[in-house]
Amino acid sequence: MIKHVALVNDHRWIDPPERTAYILNILEEDRILSEAFGAIGCDVSRVDWADPKIDWGRFDAVVIRQTWDYFDRLTEFLAWLDRVESCTRVVNPVEVIRWNCDKRYLVDLAAAGVPTVPTIVIECAIDRRTDVPGLADLMARHGFDEAVIKPAVSGAGRETYRVLRSQADRHEAAWQRLVKAESMLLQPFMPAIVEHGEVSLIVIDNQVTHAVRKIAAAGEFRVQDDHGGTVHPHTPGPAEIAVAQAALAAVPGPVSYARVDLVEAENGPLVMELELIEPELFFRRHPDAAGRLAGTVSRE
């Protein structure tokens, strides 16, 4: 039986002096999960993953929550994972986190037969001796009249752009800058994201516990609340549940918690993102799911 659990955040959320609605949601999520662990006899500490003073060996389990700076400090974050893994248990497991931190995993899901938004990876061109392919040419090559470009390692909609092929020249300078600095993804724009939003299924211990629909603000396509998106109740249908289960079956390791982000297409839902590191799990909308996660961690 585990006795002491760390809920891992980045430094901004440990004791924030400002309490906006955004920050209050973060604190509420951790409060609900902390109380769920407390109900089964576990002590909980909320800690900053990058705090050098922490003795990670004193925890029976480390549950990653709002480490929303990891994609800006990836090398440091991965090294930290290796250190922590050597002295305690990390949830989700480190091998799963390493796989999930790079959005190339979408290519793996598609190869495994999971319905997934088509994804083309353009490798970082920092060492290339040839020119970076032009954005309009790439879109034409793959038959995309409208596309989304985003970094392979990122979050919160960072450097994510919606591009019309007919207007790709407007984005060419940004595209060249980005792909010379990091690997990028090219995906077809999915109209349903602005028409119906993105559906997120939360899966705890291999069971879909609840779901939400995230709606982008007017004039936006990014659904994150950082960009004005809003969250609404959603009851997942059989097709959505089946796709979520197929995605998790393709993960290279065990998973205690997950969020599967879906977008509707002509032939059914497609995986847009599979979040296994630090997803918002919306416990404030379904507190029982926090109890299920606490129980899952305590049994492992």
Do residues 178 and 205 both lie within one domain?
A: no
Instruction: Give the Cα separation of 162 and 12 in Å (integer).
Output: 29
- Domain containing residue 244: CATH number: 3.30.470.20
Do residues 246 and 220 both lie within one domain?
A: yes
Q: Examine residue 295 and state whether it is found in any structural domain, yes or no.
A: no
Do strands 184-188 and 120-122 pair parallel, antiparallel, or not at all (unpaired)? Answer: antiparallel
Do residues 271 and 183 both lie within one domain?
A: no
50-83 pLDDT tens trace: 999 999 999 999 999 999 999 999 999 999 999 9
pLDDT at 216: 81
176-189 pLDDT tens trace: 999 989 999 999 99
Q: Examine residue 73 and state whether it is found in any structural domain, yes or no.
A: yes
Average pLDDT for 153-158? 86
Evaluate if residue 117 carries a pLDDT over 90: yes
**Domain termination site, one of 169, 188, 207:** 188
Do residues 235 and 111 both lie within one domain?
A: yes
Contact present, 228 and 166 (Cβ < 8 Å):
no
Q: Is the peptide bond before 92 cis (omega within 30 degrees of 0)?
A: yes
Sheet holding 207-215, edge to edge: 230-233, 207-215, 198-204, 257-265, 268-275
Instruction: Give the Cα separation of 69 and 77 in Å (integer).
Output: 9
Q: Examine residue 282 and state whether it is found in any structural domain, yes or no.
A: no
Q: Examine residue 26 and state whether it is found in any structural domain, yes or no.
A: yes
The pair of three-digit structure tokens given for residue 27, joined into one six-digit string: 């604190």
**Domain termination site, one of 188, 203, 233:** 188
Do residues 110 and 220 both lie within one domain?
A: yes
Instruction: Give the Cα separation of 257 and 264 in Å (integer).
Output: 23
- Domain containing residue 168: CATH number: 3.30.1490
221-279 pLDDT tens trace: 776 766 677 899 999 999 999 999 999 999 999 999 999 999 999 999 999 999 999 99
Q: Examine residue 241 and state whether it is found in any structural domain, yes or no.
A: yes
24-57 pLDDT tens trace: 999 999 999 999 999 999 999 999 999 999 999 9
Do residues 179 and 214 both lie within one domain?
A: no
Do residues 41 and 13 both lie within one domain?
A: yes
DSSP classification of residue 237: -
86-107 pLDDT tens trace: 999 999 999 999 999 999 999 9
Do residues 125 and 241 both lie within one domain?
A: no
pLDDT band at 127, cuts 50/70/90?
Answer: low
pLDDT at 158: 87
pLDDT at 129: 54
Instruction: Give the Cα separation of 212 and 94 in Å (integer).
Output: 27
Do residues 143 and 269 both lie within one domain?
A: no
Do residues 146 and 272 both lie within one domain?
A: no
Q: Which residue has the higher pLDDT, 15 or 157?
A: 15
- The whole domain housing 53 covers 4-93
Q: Which residue has the tokens 């990122």?
A: 154
Q: Examine residue 287 and state whether it is found in any structural domain, yes or no.
A: no
Instruction: Give the Cα separation of 55 and 151 in Å (integer).
Output: 33
Q: Examine residue 290 and state whether it is found in any structural domain, yes or no.
A: no
pLDDT band at 128, cuts 50/70/90?
Answer: low
Q: Examine residue 131 and state whether it is found in any structural domain, yes or no.
A: yes
Do residues 112 and 228 both lie within one domain?
A: yes
pLDDT band at 130, cuts 50/70/90?
Answer: low
Per the structure, the count of domains in the chain is 3
The pair of three-digit structure tokens given for residue 236, joined into one six-digit string: 């997942």
Q: In sequence order, what DSSP letters do the residues of 153-166 get, joined into one string?
A: S--TTTT-EEEEGG
Do residues 46 and 150 both lie within one domain?
A: no
**Domain termination site, one of 136, 167, 188:** 188
Average pLDDT for 190-217? 94
Q: pTM of the entire structure? A: 0.94
- Domain containing residue 31: CATH number: 3.40.50
